[in-house]
Amino acid sequence: MRIEQTPLKDCFIIHEKVHGDARGYFIETFNQRDFTAASGLDIQFVQDNQSRSSKGVLRGLHMQRGSSAQAKLVRVLAGSVLDVAVDLRKGSPSFGQHFTIELTAENHKQFFVPAGFAHGFVVLSESATFFYKVDKFYEPGNEVGIMYNDTDLKIDWKLADNELILSDKDKVLGSFAEYAASL
């Protein structure tokens, strides 16, 4: 496991060793001991989630607040997505900044998003299967979000607005300014 620090504090790209031969490949996708040693973080994941989405589906930007704030380890099992993390930790040196990475079934990259970050992704391929681990259980009353096209964040989702497919819930999320004012 090799961990690459992104410009956002505690937000990492994880490169796993791929063992391949004529039969296919094998990857150890998570090892608690190696992750803790490489990142310095002692994260205990409690739940795995998986979704499948069509091209243009944008899920986000979501997060859990307070004691429900979740760290996530995300990856793509099939297809490709543009994955986005936004630092919403009050007092963080990277507060209000975002980072994007393309995760694909072929590049085998994983992305660690710490607690206190909003997270989302958009599907770039015809479809994608997205997998992620979280370190806290989902609590509906602690869910908040920020609109994907927030003018302060200026995230380039790599697709035109008319290509994006959002849930009704994601169409009415608040702004970054509203979130920041609530801290």
Q: Determine phi and psi for 27, rounding to 5 degrees.
A: -135, 130
Helix (H) or strand (E) holding 181: helix 176-181
Residue in the block written with tokens 């990259």: 109
Question: Which one is catalytic: 62, 108, 138, 179?
Answer: 62
Return d(Cα 10, Cα 172) in angstroms, integer: 29
Return d(Cα 69, Cα 115) in angstroms, integer: 5
Q: 172 by DSSP, 3-state: which?
A: helix
Question: Which one is catalytic: 98, 119, 132, 179?
Answer: 132
Is residue 15 annotated as a catalytic residue, yes or no?
no
Is residue 62 annotated as a catalytic residue, yes or no?
yes
Active centre residues (catalytic)? 62, 132
